[in-house]
Structure 1
Amino acid sequence: MRTEDVLASIATGLWRWDSASGEVTLDAEAARLLGLPAVPVTLTESAVRSRFHPVDWVEIQGVINLAVAEGTLAEARLRIMSDDGKVLRIVRSRSRQYLRGDDYEMTGTLQEVPEPQPGTAAAVHSRVTGDWRRSREAFLLDAGRALAEARSTSEVLRVAATLSMPGFSPDGLAVFGVEGDRLKIIGYHGYQDGDEGPFLHMSLDTEYPAAEVIRNGRAIYLPSPEDYQSRFPSTWPLAARFHRKSWAFLPLIVGGRTMGAWMAAFSYPVAFTPDERSVLTTVARMLAQALSRASVQESERELTTGLQRSMMPTVQPNIPGMTVAARYVPTGGGLQVGGDWYDMIPLPSGRIALVIGDVQGHDVRAAGLMGQLRIALRAYAAEGHHPDAVLSRASRFLAGLAEQWPDGESASAGDPRFATCLYIEVDPETGTLDIARAGHPDIATRMSDGTMLLRPTAGGLPLGIDPDSDYPTTRLALEPGELMMVCTDGLIETGGHDLETGWQRLRETVEKHSGDMESLADALVQAVHGPTSHHMTGPLADRREDDIALLLLRRNAPAGGCHPAEGKAPRPIRRTVLSVPQAAPEQVALVRQQLRELLHDWADDEQIDSAVLMISEMASNVLLHTDGDALIIAELVGARGARRLRVDVADASDELPHRRSPGEMASSGRGLVLMEMLAEAWGVDPRGEGKCIWFELYESGPVSGPDAGPESGPGPGGGELEGEEPAA
């Protein structure tokens, strides 16, 4: 008797599905069960699909894919539909796959399942099965979301340990990886510390389920201890001591490569039905993807941390009389490294060089160029070069690198890179700052009364654009109790702000802050990007638009309340020292701007205009009639509303100015006349080398008493003074 006849006698049909040709062959009984004439027939996939309920067809696709992946039987319950859309009968399909290259052939049976009667156990089971499937779909959605949000291997393992699977949940989990030719335990749950000992460094050739899964990439299900013992007798004693009843070992596959295995152990028997295997397989796939992502992110973080530590030096906290704080915050995404940097360089003269800069771009190339440029700057500074010479050499160095990029690009054709830079030579004893600037934002200072001022300085082109560019030096002085801030534009121009509004936002933070330097550095970064640490990580990273480098330098105030140069006189609440080089008369405009910044809250705008006019006359006079530079000191003393402004302009010439009576068409000779008209006190003080011309303005009229300055008048000798005169 033929096999088909034997099966037909028990209402069981045979079918064969060839995935290569897309054809399904049915014997007579299988055709009858599908509602077709009871004769053998070969149909297309679409013709067979039309006989099944649409939901069941989707279900059987998943079951078949699972069986192909695991090399197991595919089993499913299917509803056969009549031509009028009603359920004709329910059949059970069981099949086995045979691989043929990339295609496969399925051969199986169909058998009718009696329709459950209402109120019977079968009906209850059918309802429970439907509820279980809905619970499974909800569980998989939640599990996928939770695993996708895990950012590290430990978080992935913690999420996997808390997954509550519908209808069954393992109470022992382990994730195995591969290290060379041995197993590696990545993590586990439901076991005591030390239980992993026998499984550490187990060879992949060992007859152990996890090792076999990694070798062949197929899942292994062990429903009972007897199954475990019979299939893996040599390693069964290792598992027996944990008293589990069922085990599932599933491959962790990413990109077609088996990266490890996942073990789920149960303290009660599990039959591992197709639905249960489908859930476990789906979780294993999500777990593999999550572990792969976490591994990549951890590698990137490790590389980022290494790059940051190698490129970002630690500032020296022991500069005599000064305090320093620094921050570096990379932009979000990628390796979180970029072209911003800061540095602190001890100089042969005993001074300290502070450097901050920004190489164009936020990628690995920018970070590489930054590292090379930083080393070059340290080398030039260590040779003892002046700030302008250090930047000139660095510009030529960067321009040379641009012409030798390994991909053949050049600075004139391709992807040229430039860098902005601010180089500051600091004298800790005097607070003198010699500043050279290459296209970088200016420095800002917080005065002793908390007011923040921008300090305009001369500058040149960014490094690497013009190898022959000059970088003039500006000399400023940091007074005791004052703080200097330098940063890259990522701290200023972000969140839709330009240079002006960005500085205003930072000004509010600086002026309101009353803590120490470290808390101020955090507050400045937090004002732009929210809470941060020295190296920001986490979800806020995605909000960052640009890298940030920040340096703060404070000249510590001396003990006691007196200004060292004034004995018992009141200490200036604001004081700025500027120099105007003989070869840079355009810096007179910076002097005027700086004085306006100093007087930003002065009560009388007309007095501010008068002060700006007089300081311009005095500085221009030095440049026009002497061969040296002009040294300018501006001080504010007193309480608001009753302050005194004193401006000193010193030069190295011994010749004193004298008053003239300029004609109507004269282009000079009005300087002293203006000072007599506008200043409430002024004079000329001869010094050992050179002289100092000064003037004073009072916020609420002339000051009397101990705060009053020197007597007003045309000079120490009275009457006319011979020599040079301020330029008109």
Structure 2
Amino acid sequence: MRTGEPLPAVGQVLAALATGLWHWDTSIGQVTVDAEAARLLGLPPESTVLSEAQVRARLHPVDWNEITGVVQLAVAENTLAEVRIRVMDERGRIIRVVRSRSKPSFDPEKRAYELIGTLQEVTEPTPGTPAGRRAVTGDWRRSREAFLLDAGRALAEARSTAEVLRVAAGLSMPGFTPDGLAVFGVEGDRLTIVGHHGQQPGDEDPFSHMSLATDYPAAEVCRTGRAVYLSSPDQYKSRYPVTWPLAAGFGRQSWAFLPLTVAGRTMGAWMAAFSYPVAFNPDERSVLTTVARMLAQALTRAGVAESERELTDGLQRSMLPTLGPKIPGMTVAARYVPTGGGLQIGGDWYDVIPLPGEGERFALVIGDVQGHDVRAAGLMGQLRTALRAYASEGHRPDAVLSRASRFLNGIGGHHDDSGDPRFATCLYVEADPATGVLDIARAGHPDPAIRMADGTVLRRATSGGLPLGIDPDADYPTTTFALQPGETLALCTDGLIETGGHDLDTGWQRLRTILEEHTGDLEALADALVQAVHGPSSHHTTGPLADRREDDIAVLLLHRQGVTAGLGGGPAAVHVPTRRTMLTVAQAEPERIAVARQQLRELLHDWSSADQVDSTVLLVSEMLTNVLVHTDTDALLVAEISGEPGARRLRVEVTDAGEDLPHKRRPGELASSGRGLVLIELLAHAWGVDPRGEGKSIWFELREAEGEAEGETPATSGADLHHDLRDGLSTDLRDDLLRLAIDDFPDDENDESDEDDEDDEDESA
């Protein structure tokens, strides 16, 4: 080149050296290569723009993955990214090996990398030659980068300090692996031992609570934030003569003490000790420094997670009660599982409250404050305390819920910071262990379920009011029934029912199956309910937390001791318990007739004759509606099944306080009433009308079809009656008969009530 002539372009110089240029922008997914780089990639030797997919197709899949890891590491260390790449042809054969060197940068706004680098072909050197030794060094660097990626993933997944220490102890560094590790923390002006590996228990005692002013490498690292490398015992002894005797007994030959730094603050030190001499060259120091950074980040995350778990456990222990002393004749079991995420706390709760006065009476409470956040947990704690206070004052269930609703409304629980409503559902049960009588008040909460002594499960419909906190003057009527020996009361929040895409109906069917098929004790039943919905139970009043839940759940079970199929009695129990249900239908609640029909079907779920089930439902619907139409009193329904399966007897009794007795009549073809007792006589095996001190009782009995005695005339089935009515009566008269209630009272000429009950009786027909 003559003096004064311009220098050739960079690309020309590199091309003369068989080196290509390339530019990769991940924000647009394009790679620009010059002619030489295109040739090295097996493409025509001309400048071109390629997509990431086109470039990836030319490279070995393993090398492409290594490129992304090396780039991330180079950005983190602010160094060059260097990697060897195998170039493939269209048939998947390796045509050459190239070395890529680049300076990557990262744009946090675009969250993208940009690299400008070179490509140069390399040949595999002969082993033992200087080039071969350099290749070994290059292989070590690739191993280092792969190791750091694996170590970073493992430390990122560790969720506790103990897990972080286990991961650190298991790290196998390329070419030099320590056999002794220790992590030091700082408390005030003292060193602490967070954990160690490779030493015997108790070996850490001399180093615990050591002053930061001590002439010890870890103390110096914590004071200055700078690493200390000691390649030999002589070097250790000369630099730290005071504390050398403490380290001499371990028989190590080299030590590295590195700062654990997070956000510019040194939180401790990491010691890596080796049983053989280590020179700590720049590559080795780079590996140790990177591991120390990742270790510090992992320990910080684990510490935060452990603090949150400790806070959560403390909140749960303070907000959820113990089940207290044993209750004579009864057993209680409970479970609570939080939603998960964050502090894993929410608004569901349960409680067992001893009540004042004579006897062993107590109250069961289960509820759900709207939301799964800290505010929901705070409102839950306040509401639970208020309920305990009102119950301890001796108030009845309706008064307890009325006061609680007024309390929640008064503290602003019905609105959160954004103005959205915050309310709570609740079910309050006052129980008398001596008699089994339960008084229940309900505020927008799911109804309880009863598992009978023979395993039959019924939902017990209870009167209810608005959720707590919505209306300070809301009324909460009380429902009373008795828990029979061997029966179990099941209370839960809607999270147990509706998880997994279920609604209230399908979710209830799932839980009903679990309740019916369970054969263990009460604690096992509580576990079975939780595990079937969410997997293993995470909280037995106390205990480890669950990982992730769709909704908080709370379960509260009350069992009255007696002979039971499962729950203590076992499937081989000889005694056949009576199956019984009771329901009140008030004058102002005609819709509860549909509830009565549903309860009867659940009570008769294993009855052998479907026609008899239909007959029972029809007769009960008629009898209840008759009370509402022709009296001013409420109706009490009691249904009871006794006997062995296949030969059981069903007795249904409807009682009211009306004084007029029904009479059997012979209505004409055009009459629209007066056929009630005719239906009972046709469908029942036995029936009667019994006057009471106040009011009367109408009853009928059915014997299971398989148990009818030989020569005995069976009762007409509901299906037969339907066919008879269809064939023998006019359409209008038949519809009236199936729609109307029993209408055999002396004042049954008043037919204006027919229209009022039309909707309900259509369903019963």
After TM superposition, the score normalised by the length of structure 1 is 0.76
Q: 1:528 aligned to 2:538?
A: no
In structure 1, the residue matched to 2:369 is 359
In structure 1, the residue matched to 2:647 is 642
Q: Is the 8 A contact 1:317 1:324 kept in 2?
A: no
Q: Is the 8 A contact 2:408 2:414 kept in 1?
A: no
Q: Is the 8 A contact 2:486 2:564 kept in 1?
A: no
1:139 shift after superposition? 1.8
Structure 1 gaps of 5+ residues are: 1-30, 36-49, 69-73, 80-84, 91-114, 561-568, 709-720
SS in 2 for 1:677: helix
1:538/1:150 CA distance change after superposition, 3 Å: farther
1:320/1:536 CA distance change after superposition, 3 Å: closer
Residues 87-486 of structure 1 mapped to structure 2, 5 A cutoff = 118=126, 120=128, 122-316=130-324, 318-349=326-357, 350=359, 351-402=361-412, 409=417, 414-486=419-491
Q: Is the 8 A contact 1:63 1:274 kept in 2?
A: no
Q: Is the 8 A contact 2:182 2:272 kept in 1?
A: yes
Q: Is the 8 A contact 2:688 2:698 kept in 1?
A: yes
1:273/1:463 CA distance change after superposition, 3 Å: same
Q: Is the 8 A contact 2:369 2:376 kept in 1?
A: yes
Matched AA of 1:300 = E
Q: 1:592 aligned to 2:597?
A: yes
SS in 1 for 2:486: coil
Rounded Cα–Cα distance in structure 2 between residues aligned with 1:667 and 1:443: 40
Structure 2 gaps of 5+ residues are: 1-9, 15-33, 35-39, 41-65, 85-95, 102-122, 566-573, 714-743, 755-765
Q: Please, which moves more after superposition, 477-486 or 665-674?
A: 665-674
1:281 shift after superposition? 1.1
Matched AA of 1:644 = R
Per-residue CA distance 1:198-248 (angstroms, 9 max, x = gap): 211112222222122122222111112232223223222222222221111
Rounded Cα–Cα distance in structure 1 between residues aligned with 2:301 and 2:547: 17
SS in 1 for 2:271: strand
1:665/1:440 CA distance change after superposition, 3 Å: farther
Q: Is the 8 A contact 1:208 1:235 kept in 2?
A: yes
Q: Please, which moves more after superposition, 413-422 or 580-589?
A: 580-589
SS in 2 for 1:423: strand
1:76/1:210 CA distance change after superposition, 3 Å: farther
1:661/1:281 CA distance change after superposition, 3 Å: same
1:369 shift after superposition? 0.6
In structure 1, the residue matched to 2:562 is 557
Q: Is the 8 A contact 2:428 2:441 kept in 1?
A: yes
Per-residue CA distance 1:144-191 (angstroms, 9 max, x = gap): 222222221111111211211110111111101111121111011111
1:479 shift after superposition? 1.8
SS in 2 for 1:248: strand
1:437 shift after superposition? 1.6
1:430/1:654 CA distance change after superposition, 3 Å: farther
1:457 shift after superposition? 2.1
1:539/1:517 CA distance change after superposition, 3 Å: closer
In structure 2, the residue matched to 1:609 is 614
Per-residue CA distance 1:663-689 (angstroms, 9 max, x = gap): 778776543333223222111334555
SS in 1 for 2:556: strand
Matched AA of 1:342 = Y
Q: How many residues align?
A: 618
1:346/1:65 CA distance change after superposition, 3 Å: closer
Q: Please, which moves more after superposition, 460-469 or 266-275?
A: 460-469
1:446/1:119 CA distance change after superposition, 3 Å: closer
1:138/1:685 CA distance change after superposition, 3 Å: same
Q: Is the 8 A contact 2:563 2:575 kept in 1?
A: no
Per-residue CA distance 1:441-460 (angstroms, 9 max, x = gap): 11112122212222222222
Per-residue CA distance 1:33-62 (angstroms, 9 max, x = gap): x99xxxxxxxxxxxxxx9xx9x99x99997
SS in 2 for 1:242: coil
1:421/1:538 CA distance change after superposition, 3 Å: closer
Rounded Cα–Cα distance in structure 1 between residues aligned with 2:274 and 2:396: 74
SS in 2 for 1:480: coil
Rounded Cα–Cα distance in structure 1 between residues aligned with 2:386 and 2:541: 28
Matched AA of 1:388 = D
SS in 1 for 2:407: helix
Q: Is the 8 A contact 1:339 1:362 kept in 2?
A: yes
Q: Is the 8 A contact 2:654 2:699 kept in 1?
A: yes
Rounded Cα–Cα distance in structure 2 between residues aligned with 1:221 and 1:198: 21
1:595/1:549 CA distance change after superposition, 3 Å: same
Matched AA of 1:142 = D
SS in 1 for 2:494: coil
Per-residue CA distance 1:455-494 (angstroms, 9 max, x = gap): 2222222211222222222223222211121111111111
1:503 shift after superposition? 1.3
Per-residue CA distance 1:367-401 (angstroms, 9 max, x = gap): 11111111111112222222222222211211222
1:324/1:535 CA distance change after superposition, 3 Å: closer
Rounded Cα–Cα distance in structure 1 between residues aligned with 2:399 and 2:669: 47
SS in 2 for 1:275: helix
Q: Please, which moves more after superposition, 528-537 or 418-427?
A: 528-537
Rounded Cα–Cα distance in structure 1 between residues aligned with 2:281 and 2:458: 74
1:365 shift after superposition? 0.7
Per-residue CA distance 1:111-164 (angstroms, 9 max, x = gap): xxxx99855453342122122122222222222222222221111111211211
1:86 shift after superposition? 13
Rounded Cα–Cα distance in structure 1 between residues aligned with 2:368 and 2:516: 26
Matched AA of 2:529 = L
1:644/1:149 CA distance change after superposition, 3 Å: same
Q: Is the 8 A contact 2:538 2:544 kept in 1?
A: no
For residue 505 of structure 2, the aligned residue among 500, 505, 510 is 500
After TM superposition, the score normalised by the length of structure 2 is 0.73
1:369/1:666 CA distance change after superposition, 3 Å: farther
Rounded Cα–Cα distance in structure 2 between residues aligned with 1:172 and 1:486: 55
1:65/1:336 CA distance change after superposition, 3 Å: closer
Q: Is the 8 A contact 2:334 2:541 kept in 1?
A: no
Q: Is the 8 A contact 1:147 1:156 kept in 2?
A: yes
Q: CA RMSD in A?
A: 4.0
What's the % identity of the aligned pairs?
A: 71
